[in-house]
Copies of this chain bind each other. A is one copy, B any other.
Amino acid sequence: MRMKYFEDIEVGEVWDLGQRAVEAAEIIEFASQYDPQPFHTDAAAAEASFFGGLIASGWHTCAMFMRMACDAQNDEGGGERMASLGSPGFDDLKWLLPVRPGDILSVRTRILSATPSRSKQDRGTMRIQIWVSNQKNEIVLEMTSMGRYLRRPTG
């Protein structure tokens, strides 16, 4: 599999990272372990709540985004693996709309900036805008990610 380095990505590039169906059982399973609030874990209680039905934990939506981002780099999927050194974090993470059972999520990303490290010559940081949308093309989650990537080895 080809490895993509810092230099291989251009500011302004837009990537679509596939789709993922959201199921009630997975919403409940995730939330039972990590976010056991009734509107995430109990369909009847969720019906009676402010949200009018079961919704995914916001952290579950983030986790589903991450899996889609990983799968898009997957070997069998024909992807190219980024030479990633992990992420220092995110800015402006916004859960704009609830994610519900039956939703089909899709992810789009856009490279906002690419800055070589001053102190470490082997790496650089990219700012990446991320949108997660549902099947109605409504954005459900929006955030700006920082990602650290290796520069292409020289020589």
Contacts and interface: CB of A to CB of B under 8 A. Distances in A.
Q: Chain A: interface secondary structure? A: mixed
A90 interface: yes
A89 interface: yes
A86 to B, nearest CB: 8
Contacts of A94: 88-89
Contact of A93 (B30, B57, B64, B90): B90
25 contacts: A33-B63, A33-B67, A34-B63, A34-B64, A34-B67, A35-B63, A35-B67, A35-B70, A37-B70, A51-B86, A57-B63, A58-B86, A58-B87, A59-B59, A59-B63, A59-B66, A63-B63, A86-B95, A88-B94, A89-B92, A89-B94, A89-B95, A89-B143, A91-B91, A93-B93
